[in-house]
Amino acid sequence: MPWWAVLLVAIGSALAGAIVTFFITKKLIQKEIENNPPITAAQIRAMYRQMGRTPSERDVRKVLNASKHAKK
């Protein structure tokens, strides 16, 4: 087998591996974020209290929905 054929096979294999790794990692990260959201309702309530406001449930849901839509 000529040296250039070996080089092409090596480059092709590395490229295929990189593409497969990218999609597997993307799927795992999306699953992790879905199971463990980056912000919770309790954290939002604490943020409102730190600002000196009493959070209503409507305010909390509004912020949660805004963060969900910002991800998409």
64's tokens: 């949660």
Q: Number of folded domains in the chain?
A: 2
**pTM for the whole structure:** 0.56
Query: Based on the domain organization, do 60 and 71 belong to the same domain?
Result: yes
Query: Based on the domain organization, do 2 and 32 belong to the same domain?
Result: yes
Provide the residue range defining the domain that includes 30.
1-36
Q: What is the mean pLDDT of the chain?
A: 90
Query: Based on the domain organization, do 30 and 50 belong to the same domain?
Result: no
Residue-wise pLDDT tens digits, 7-22: 999 999 999 999 999 9
Which pLDDT value is given to residue 40?
A: 86
Distances (CA, A) of 65 to 23, 26, 28, 41, 56: 27, 23, 23, 11, 14
Which pLDDT value is given to residue 71?
A: 62
47's tokens: 């943020």
